[in-house]
């Protein structure tokens, strides 16, 4: 296993972190405990020392499961345990202490190595500041309940910079992969945090598995032409690790085979990383995929709120992904899963308010109609 140092503390973290949000499931949708424990133990035994969970993962089952395994197997002090404050549930300063204490119980521990303010966006951040987040973070760091303070992020670059500059963070967590170099924090955000000695942890290195599976023939030919025995998943992981400012990346693994493959890759990388030809090839792949985008939405949210309740940026996310990856069925399933009926595209009444506000001059009404036809029954 390869390790990189977290700026500030100089703690060595495995370049591969175990994301505990995609364990295998039983027919009832619960964590398949025997197989999942085997995966977790295999990872730790092979050198993975960063374990990442959160309050909502597996409908609240992930934290208790992870805590139980680490406690029973005597592994708590062998790993760096990360979990997150559920930002969307916070209504008061007292709530922050409440949820942290509940997490201690769930995880069977009295301290957290890496604690993140979860899933920050503009709304959550405003609410947290009004309810005393900085006082909470100061307290938990001072009294030793938390060793390292960070945040995970899901909004635009300007807000990322604002949050980064607002507190003495130890680390942050961003979505980053070879398609999403200008999405949310992106490459500029990565560099911005690293320049301030804030450790960077990457989530979604495989974009939810979408760039780990089968590519269109045009893309696959480019990778095959590089003449390396790498799987599509390995190319995506190696691309992230090629960024030396990334301390570790999280992989939400669902099978023992995925654990073993990712550990093999994480143990094989070297500091030289990709060569110029390989980087250029992946840049070309990005251009091919992004050329398939239909609605060039930057998720700035100037179009929101929609008078009819349509979640325009969210609709466009799944609409674009259906075209980018060509998996209409998967996009339809995710669309129904993540967008409530009242926020779906068919609710558009063609009032045109959004189009007047869109800085990208997107023909929003036209694309919402197309999204509805493509993704809805």
Confidence of residue 185 (pLDDT cuts 50, 70, 90): very high
Q: Which of 272, 298, 322 is the endpoint of a domain?
A: 272
Into how many domains does the chain fold?
2
Same domain, 160 and 32: yes
CA distance 150 to 132: 16
Q: Is the pLDDT of residue 171 over 80?
A: yes
Extract the tokens encoding 202. 């990457």
CA distance 214 to 200: 29
Q: Is the pLDDT of residue 298 over 80?
A: no
Span 83-107, pLDDT tens digits:
999 999 999 999 999 999 999 999 9
Position 8 scores a pLDDT of: 87
The whole domain housing 341 covers 312-375
CA distance 189 to 157: 6
Q: How many CB atoms lie within 10 A of CB 353?
A: 14
Confidence of residue 73 (pLDDT cuts 50, 70, 90): very high
Q: Strands 199-203 and 12-14: what pairing?
A: unpaired
Same domain, 236 and 355: no
Position 128 scores a pLDDT of: 98
Q: Which of 247, 272, 297 is the endpoint of a domain?
A: 272
Confidence of residue 194 (pLDDT cuts 50, 70, 90): very high
Span 252-289, pLDDT tens digits:
999 999 999 999 999 999 888 999 999 999 999 999 99
Distant-in-sequence, close-in-space partners of 227: CB < 8 Å, separation ≥ 6 = none
Please give the full DSSP string across 233-270, using - where no structure is assigned. Answer: HHHHHHHHHTSTTEEEEEE---SHHHHHHHHHHHHH--
Span 210-242, pLDDT tens digits:
899 889 899 999 999 999 999 999 999 999 999
376: three-class secondary structure by DSSP: coil
Q: Which of 221, 256, 272 is the endpoint of a domain?
A: 272
Same domain, 268 and 340: no
Helix/strand/coil (H, E, C) string of 284-307? HHHHHHHCCCCCCCCCCCCCCCCC
Position 377 scores a pLDDT of: 79
Position 301 scores a pLDDT of: 81
Extract the tokens encoding 338. 């993540």
Nearest-CA neighbor of 317 among 166, 179, 158?
179
Q: Which of 160-164, 360-364, 370-374 has the lowest average pLDDT?
A: 360-364
Mean pLDDT of 164-170: 98
Confidence of residue 129 (pLDDT cuts 50, 70, 90): very high
Q: Is 75 inside any structural domain? A: yes
């Amino acid at each position: 296993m390869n390790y990189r140092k977290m700026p500030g503390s100089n703690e060595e973290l495995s370049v591969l972190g175990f994301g505990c949000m995609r364990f295998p499931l039983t027919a009832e949708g619960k964590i398949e405990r025997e197989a999942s424990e085997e995966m977790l133990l295999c990872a730790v035994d092979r050198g993975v020392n960063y374990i990442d969970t959160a309050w909502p993962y597996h409908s609240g089952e992930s934290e208790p499961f992870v805590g139980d395994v680490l406690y029973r197997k005597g592994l708590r002090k062998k790993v760096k345990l990360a979990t997150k404050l559920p930002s969307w549930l916070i209504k008061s300063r007292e709530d922050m202490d409440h949820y942290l204490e509940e997490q201690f119980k769930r995880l069977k521990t009295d301290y957290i190595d890496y604690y993140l303010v979860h899933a920050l966006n503009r709304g959550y951040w405003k609410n947290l500041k009004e309810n005393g987040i900085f006082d909470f973070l100061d307290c938990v760091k001072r009294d030793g309940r938390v060793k390292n303070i960070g945040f995970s992020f899901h909004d635009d670059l300007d807000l990322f910079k604002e949050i980064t500059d607002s507190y003495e963070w130890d680390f942050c967590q961003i979505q980053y992969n070879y398609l999403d170099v200008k999405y949310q924090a992106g490459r500029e955000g990565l560099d911005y945090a690293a320049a301030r000695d804030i450790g960077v942890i990457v989530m979604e290195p495989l974009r939810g598995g979408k760039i780990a599976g089968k590519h269109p023939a045009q893309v696959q030919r480019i990778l095959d032409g590089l003449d390396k025995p790498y799987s599509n998943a390995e190319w995506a992981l190696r691309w992230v690790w090629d960024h030396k400012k990334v301390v570790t990346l999280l992989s939400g693994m669902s099978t023992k085979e995925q654990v073993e493959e990712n550990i093999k890759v994480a143990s094989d990388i070297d500091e030289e990383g990709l060569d110029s030809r390989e980087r250029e090839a992946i840049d070309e792949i990005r251009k091919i995929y992004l050329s398939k985008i239909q609605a060039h939405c930057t998720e700035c949210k100037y179009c929101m709120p929609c008078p009819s309740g349509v979640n325009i940026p969210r609709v466009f996310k799944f609409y674009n992904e259906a075209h980018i990856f060509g998996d209409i069925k998967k996009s339809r399933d995710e669309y129904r899963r993540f967008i409530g009926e009242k926020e779906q595209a068919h609710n558009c009444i063609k009032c045109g308010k959004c189009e007047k506000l869109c800085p990208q001059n997107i023909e929003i009404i036209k694309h919402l109609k197309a999204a509805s036809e493509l993704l809805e029954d």
